[in-house]
C-alpha cells in the first residue's frame, strides 16, 4: 500500500464493487474493481468481502472507509435511510450510518427519496451527483446519469429538487439476452456503436415522438428475418430505441430547452453524447468515475477530517 492513503472509498452496487484508496487531496493511490456485488457479498459476509479487498491493496487496519450504493439498501449490509428531496446534498453526509460490531470505521452514505405522486429512490447516484455539482459548481439545470437505472435530477438553488428513473439499461440487457430478440442479437449485445446507422435510426424514431416502442421492438426481429439485419445492427437499433425513449420521456417531463449535464464514462458517455446531440439538447459532460470518487472523497473528508 501507499503510505499516503488517507481514506478508502467504495461504490458498492448490486453487481459491482469498486474500491479506491485516496490521499488527503483525493488523489487515487490504489484501486480495485470486482464483481462482488450484493448477492455474492451477502453470501460471504460484507465485512469479510471488504476486508479481503482492502488487504489486497495493503490498507492499514485503521483506514476509515466510506461507501455509497446499494450496500446501504434493505438487501445490503446495513440500511441507510433515504434523505428526501428537495435536498441540499451535504445532508447525505450527516445521514451516513456507521457499521457497528466491527473494528474498522466504516460508514455508508444514504440515498435520496422522493415521495408524493411520483415516488422515486436512488442509491449511489446521489454521491456521483454531489461530485459532479462540486466539480462544475452546478446550482440549476438537469443532471443525467445513464446506466442500468438512468437517473435524471433537476437542480434548483443548489439543491436536488426532484428526479426520475428510467429502466433503460436493465431493459436493454433483458431484451438483448432473454427476449425473442436474443435470436437476432446473440453475442453482439456488447457491440452497440454510436456510429452505427441503426443506432441513429432507432434514436430518431423515438425522439420524433413515436409512441410505438413496443411495436418497434418486435420490428427488430422482423427486420432480421426478412431483411437480414445483422446482430450488431439489431443491438445498435435496440439501444437507440431505448435511449431515444428515455430522452423523449425526459424532454416531455423537463421541457426541450433545459441545460443538461451528462455524467457518464466510456461507451455509455459516447452513446448518450450522440443521443443528446440528436435530441438538440445543449449539454456539458462530466466523467462518472471521477464524479463518484470526488463525491466519496468529499464525504470522507467531512466525516473524518484529516
Which residue ranges make up the site for a second copy (CB under 8 A)?
Answer: 74-75, 113-115, 118-121, 149-150, 164-168, 170-171, 174-175, 178-180, 183, 209-215, 217-219, 221-223, 225-227, 242, 245-246, 248-250, 252-253
From CA 96, how far away is CA 116, in angstroms rounded? 24
Residue 174 parent element (H or E): helix 168-178
Q: How far is the CB of 246 from a second copy (least distance, A)?
A: 5
Sign for the pseudo-dihedral over CA of 233, 288, 260, 215: positive
Q: How far is the CB of 305 from a second copy (least distance, A)?
A: 33
Q: How far is the CB of 48 from a second copy (least distance, A)?
A: 25
Taking the least distance from each CB to a second copy, the nearer of 125 and 289 is 125
Taking the least distance from each CB to a second copy, the nearer of 245 and 301 is 245
Q: Which three cell numbers stand for residue 184?
A: 437476432
Q: How far is the CB of 119 from a second copy (least distance, A)?
A: 4
Q: How far is the CB of 249 from a second copy (least distance, A)?
A: 4
What dihedral angle (degrees, nearest 10) is formed by the CA atoms of 124, 133, 143, 167?
Answer: 0
Taking the least distance from each CB to a second copy, the nearer of 19 and 142 is 142
Query: For the chain, how many residues are written?
Result: 306
What are the DSSP calls for 84-149, one per residue? ESSB-TTHHHHT-EEPPSSSS-EEE---EEE-SSS-EEESSHHHHHHHHHHHHT--SEEEEE-STT
Taking the least distance from each CB to a second copy, the nearer of 47 and 258 is 258
From CA 12, how far away is CA 49, in angstroms rounded? 11
Q: How far is the CB of 196 from a second copy (least distance, A)?
A: 18
Q: Nearest 5°: phi and psi at 167? A: -85, 25
Taking the least distance from each CB to a second copy, the nearer of 172 and 297 is 172
> Is the bond preceding residue 288 a cis peptide, omega within 30 degrees?
no
Residue 13 near residue 37 (C-beta atoms within 8 A): yes
Q: How far is the CB of 164 from a second copy (least distance, A)?
A: 5
Taking the least distance from each CB to a second copy, the nearer of 32 and 123 is 123
> 152: Cβ–Cβ under 8 A, 6 or more apart, which residues?
142, 143, 144, 145, 163, 164, 165, 166, 250, 253, 254
Taking the least distance from each CB to a second copy, the nearer of 27 and 223 is 223
Taking the least distance from each CB to a second copy, the nearer of 180 and 187 is 180
Q: How far is the CB of 118 from a second copy (least distance, A)?
A: 7
Helix residue ranges, H only, 195-305: 197-207, 213-227, 231-254, 266-278, 288-303
3-state helix, strand, coil in the chain (%, to 5): 45, 20, 35
Amino acid at each position: 500500500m501507499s503510505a499516503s492513503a488517507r481514506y478508502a472509498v467504495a461504490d458498492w452496487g448490486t453487481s459491482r464493487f469498486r474500491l479506491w484508496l485516496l490521499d488527503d487531496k483525493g488523489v487515487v493511490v490504489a484501486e480495485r474493481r470486482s464483481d462482488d456485488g450484493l448477492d455474492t457479498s451477502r453470501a460471504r459476509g460484507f465485512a469479510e468481502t471488504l476486508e479481503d479487498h482492502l488487504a489486497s491493496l495493503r490498507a492499514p487496519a485503521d483506514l476509515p472507509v466510506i461507501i455509497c450504493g446499494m450496500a446501504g439498501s434493505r438487501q445490503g449490509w446495513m440500511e441507510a435511510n433515504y434523505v428526501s428531496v428537495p435536498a441540499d446534498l451535504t445532508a447525505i453526509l450527516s445521514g451516513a450510518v456507521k457499521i457497528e460490531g466491527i473494528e474498522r470505521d466504516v460508514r455508508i452514505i444514504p440515498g435520496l427519496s422522493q415521495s408524493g405522486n411520483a415516488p422515486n429512490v436512488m442509491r449511489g447516484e446521489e454521491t456521483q451527483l454531489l461530485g459532479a455539482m462540486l466539480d462544475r459548481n452546478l446550482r440549476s439545470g438537469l443532471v443525467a446519469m445513464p446506466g442500468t437505472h438512468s437517473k435524471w435530477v433537476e437542480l434548483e438553488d443548489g439543491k436536488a429538487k426532484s428526479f426520475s428513473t428510467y429502466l433503460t439499461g436493465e431493459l436493454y440487457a433483458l431484451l438483448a439476452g432473454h427476449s425473442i430478440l436474443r435470436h437476432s442479437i446473440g453475442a453482439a449485445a456488447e457491440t452497440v456503436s454510436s456510429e452505427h446507422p441503426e443506432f441513429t435510426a432507432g434514436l430518431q424514431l423515438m425522439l420524433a415522438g413515436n409512441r410505438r416502442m413496443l411495436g418497434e421492438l418486435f420490428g427488430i426481429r422482423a427486420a432480421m428475418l426478412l431483411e437480414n439485419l445483422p446482430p450488431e445492427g439489431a443491438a445498435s437499433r435496440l439501444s437507440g430505441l431505448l435511449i431515444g425513449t428515455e430522452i423523449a420521456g425526459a424532454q416531455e417531463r423537463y421541457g426541450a430547452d433545459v441545460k443538461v449535464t451528462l455524467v457518464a464514462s466510456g461507451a455509455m458517455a459516447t452513446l448518450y453524447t450522440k443521443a443528446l446531440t440528436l435530441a438538440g439538447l445543449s449539454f456539458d459532460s462530466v466523467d462518472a468515475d471521477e464524479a463518484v470518487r470526488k463525491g466519496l472523497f468529499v464525504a470522507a473528508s467531512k466525516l473524518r477530517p484529516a
